Chains A and B, each alone.
Chain A
Amino acid sequence: MENAISHVSGRHPTTDPEDEFMNVPLGYIGDTPSQRLIPAQPIVRLEKVSKVFPGRDGQPVTALRETDLAVPQGSILGVIGRSGAGKSTLIRLVNGLEKPSSGKVIVDGADIAALPEAALRHARRSIGMIFQHFNLLSSRTAAQNIALPLEVAGFDKAEIRTRVEELLALVGLSDKRNRYPSELSGGQKQRVGIARALATKPKVLLSDEATSALDPETTRSILDLLARINDELGLTILLITHEMAVIRNIAREVAVIEGGRIVEQGDVFEVFTRPQHEVTRSFLADESGRALPPYVASRLRSEATPGSQAVIRIGFRGPHATDPVLARLARDLNIEANILSGSVDEIAGRPFGTLVVGVPETSVSTTLDFLKKHGLDTEVLGYVA
């Protein structure tokens, strides 16, 4: 079991000549800070991937259409979409739980869909996965659950014990090692799930709605743990979610998926402060502070009438977030803006302010010009009489 030992220590490729797949190094790329500075290469790449399921009534269902996606090494990429948008299929393609109908899925240089079963099982050891409902064995304690992937991979008992202790400490559950899942809270169960996913030292972690069954506070602590793992271990994380808060708190890049297509993708701050697609806007509208107060929303019309007020949403990004722009609007142009709602949020660690104001419909164009000149994003939402 010498082979297994060098596996656990993780830094060296194993050299068993009989098993060429063992030659794939399982240690983290980016063990030292300098390595992390190497320009990020995509570790997961989807190329024109489509997935068609045979439907129940003979009508085939297309879950994914010609999708391209690249997850840079060491990043946290979040895929957000409504249920049925195809995000579940997308994440399950990455570790080969589903096979693409066409296109390629490349993970760490290997074409996942083309691997034979045995090689695929081996490749999966370097792709961890966590689940919405944790999927822990009820018959095993926390420690035994974490040990399972290591047993399956053929590590010896002593190595398993050491590694399990490390992992329990990493997720902060050393004192719960002998508890069964039924004796743990949801957050603790997900921590066990994370430890289990990290057991074989994967390079990529797939998160399938990992916080959707948790309350907001527990969600926050699980996301903090994932962010820490990403930072300390250099682990690439690909997560899918339907919750904006997850993306905003942890992701660096976001892909918005709808109808089996990725409709928008890029830096989280860019995408969410300047959404291009309707679906992205609708996710943002769900967020508190972005929605119009009901008394405005109910009176909103799309056409201006004489004497009505235009409702304008102003987005303040980064350096402009603190500009006293409404004061200047009043002083320089003598336009008095009426504040209807507002909030300051943090997206991907950067402040982002939203202000909804009403101005007389006669001064709409002057106001818009003025705001744009000051580098602010604007959107006319409608008019109220």
Chain B
Amino acid sequence: MSPEMINLIAASTGETLYMVAVSALIATLFGLPLGVFLATSAKGELFAAPWINRVLGVIVNATRSTPFIILVVAIIPFTRLIAGTSIGTNAAIVPLTIAATPFIARLIEGAIREVDQGLIEAARAFGASPLQIVLKVLIPEALPGIVLGLTLAIVSLLGFSAMVGAVGGGGLGDLGIRYGYQRFMPEMMLAVVVVLIVLVQAVQSIGDRLARHLNKRIRHA
């Protein structure tokens, strides 16, 4: 493999990591409160607002059921508004974030719903406010689940980021399509796949390890 190729792969890996990291961060920023709200706003819950809950639920589902490649194209005007352009790595972050936010919200909702209702009752009984219950009880107790959810979301984002390559987003997917497919360089295609596999493995094992460390429900030897 020539030094040029290695440079190309390194640069594309950097782009992929940048896109995934920034979009995961922003999506978590929006997805965490959204997920907590979805988990606590049904009828009879802490922030009971059944109507808003239902409307948000429909929006989240609609976003999640839109195929990613269609979402990328459909929101081009919005992407241009936010990023100033619809081509390139920065532009790719917009659809990635929009696709990941509802996904992360659902994963966090699931993790929060796993928390024993008895803990909420105990916290109410000693005078905690709903916000205190979220910050001091629900999120800390759900943290191992939240970490596993975010790990899953980041792995999915790695896949999605390869897709934005198709619309000029840059990154490993772009490299694979342009060199591996269009220029018939199977070794480049293989290299891209190997790098993605290594990234996914790394993300997954870091996430698993962190979740295990945070989970105090199981006795550690």
Among A133, A183, A197, contact of B219 (Cβ-Cβ < 8 Å): A183
- CB of B220, distance to nearest CB on chain A (Å): 9
C-alpha spacing A88/B172, complex, angstroms:
60
Residues on A with C-beta less than 8 A from B124 are 97, 124
Is A137 positioned at the interface, with any CB of B under 8 Å from its CB?
yes
* A151 CB–B CB distance under 8 Å: yes
B214 touches A152 (CB 8 A): no
The 8 Å CB contact of A200, one of B119, B123, B127, is B127
> How close is B137's CB to chain A, nearest CB, in angstroms?
6
The answer to whether B136 touches A152, judged by C-beta atoms less than 8 angstroms apart, is yes
Residue among A122, A129, A139 with the highest chain B CB neighbour number at 10 A: A139
For chain A, residues 103 to 131, give those with C-beta under 8 angstroms from any C-beta of chain B: 118, 121-125, 127-129, 131
Docked pose: A140 CA to B137 CA in angstroms: 10
Across the interface, do A137 and B119 meet the contact criterion of CB distance under 8 Å? Answer: yes
Chain B 117-136, CB-CB to A under 8 Å as 1, else 0, gives 01101111111110010001
| Inter-subunit contact B143/A139 (CB<8 Å) | yes
Q: Does A180 contact B (CB under 8 A)?
A: yes
Task: List chain B residues, Cβ under 8 A from A153.
Answer: 127
Is there contact, CB below 8 Å, between A135 and B116? yes
User: Measured between C-beta atoms, what is the minimum distance from B100 to chain A in Å?
Assistant: 26
Closest to A129 in B: B125
Residue contact A200 to B136, C-beta cutoff 8 Å: no
Contact B126 A128 (CB under 8 A): yes
Docked complex Cα distance between A121 and B46 (Å)? 14
Give chain A's interface secondary structure class. mixed
Contact with A along B74-116 (1 / 0, CB 8 A): 0000000000000000000000000000000000000000001
Residue pair A129, B122 in contact (C-beta under 8 Å): yes
Q: Please, how many angstroms separate the alpha-carbon atoms of A331 and B123 in the complex?
A: 66
Question: Is there an interface contact between A149 and B140, defined as CB atoms closer than 8 Å?
Answer: no
- Given A140-B140, A182-B216, decide whether A124 and B118 contact each other with a Cβ distance below 8 A: no
Q: A200 contacts B122, CB within 8 Å?
A: no
Chain A window 309-324, contacts with chain B (Cβ cutoff 8 Å), 1 for yes, 0 for no: 0000000000000000
| Docked pose: A115 CA to B16 CA in angstroms | 55
A125 & B216 in contact (Cβ 8 Å cutoff) = no
Contacts of B140 in A (CB 8 A): 137, 139-140
Which chain B residues in 123-170 approach chain A with CB under 8 Å?
A: 123-129, 132, 136-137, 140-141, 143
Which chain B residue lies CB-closest to A128? B126
Question: Taking each of A137, A148, A149, A181, which has the highest tally of chain B beta carbons within 10 Å of its own beta carbon?
Answer: A137
Q: Which residue of B lies closest to A202 (CB)?
A: B126
B218 at the interface (CB under 8 A from A): yes
A199 within 8 A of B: yes
Write the A14-56 contact mask toward B (1 if CB under 8 angstroms, else 0): 0000000000000000000000000000000000000000000
Contact yes or no, A148 B216, CB < 8 A: no
**Least Cβ–Cβ distance between B182 and chain A, in angstroms:** 51
Q: Are A135 and B132 in contact, CB atoms less than 8 angstroms apart?
A: no
Give the shortest distance, in Å, between B50 (CB) and chain A (any CB). 15
Q: By the criterion CB–CB under 8 Å, are A97 and B125 in contact?
A: yes
Q: Which of B126, B136, B141 contacts A138 (CB 8 A)?
A: B141
Q: Which residues of B contact A182 (CB under 8 A)?
A: 216-219
Q: Is the CB of A135 within 8 A of B118?
A: yes
> Closest CB-CB distance, A163 to chain B, in whole Å?
14
- For the complex, is A190 an interface residue (Cβ under 8 Å from B)? no
* Contact between B219 and A122, CB atoms less than 8 A apart: no
Cα-based distance from A197 to B122 in the complex (angstroms): 9
Neighbour of B126 across the interface among A136, A140, A152, CB < 8 A: A152
Chain A residues within 8 Å of B128, by CB: 121, 149, 152
Residue of B at shortest CB range from A145? B122
What's the minimum C-beta distance from A185 to chain B, rounded to whole angstroms?
A: 12
Establish whether residues B121 and A124, one from each chain, have CB atoms under 8 Å apart when the complex forms: no
Asked if B125 and A95 sit within 8 Å, CB to CB, the answer is yes
Checking A133, A139, A140, A151 against B214 with a beta-carbon cut-off of 8 angstroms, the contacting residue is: A139
Chain B residues 164-221 with CB under 8 Å of chain A are 214, 216-219
With contacts A152-B132, A182-B216, A182-B219 taken as known, whether A135 is within 8 angstroms of B126 at the C-beta atoms is: no
On whether the beta carbons of B118 and A131 are closer than 8 Å, the reply is: yes
Do B126 and A197 touch (CB < 8 A)? yes
Cβ-defined partner of A124 (8 Å) among B119, B126, B141, B217 = B126
Q: How far is the CB of B29 from chain A (nearest CB, A)?
A: 22
Complex contacts, A95 vs chain B, CB 8 Å? 125
In the assembled complex, which residues on chain B have CB atoms less than 8 Å from the CB atom of A200? Answer: 126-127
Please, which residues of chain B bring their CB within 8 A of the CB of A191?
none
Residues of B within 8 A of A206 (CB): 125
Assuming A133-B116, A182-B217, what are 4 further A-B pairs, CB within 8 angstroms?
A: A121-B129, A127-B125, A135-B122, A152-B132
Q: List 29 A-B contacts (CB under 8 A).
A: A95-B125, A97-B121, A97-B124, A121-B127, A124-B127, A125-B127, A128-B126, A131-B118, A131-B121, A133-B118, A135-B121, A136-B122, A137-B137, A137-B141, A138-B217, A139-B140, A139-B214, A149-B126, A149-B127, A151-B136, A152-B123, A152-B127, A152-B129, A153-B127, A180-B216, A182-B219, A183-B219, A197-B126, A199-B126
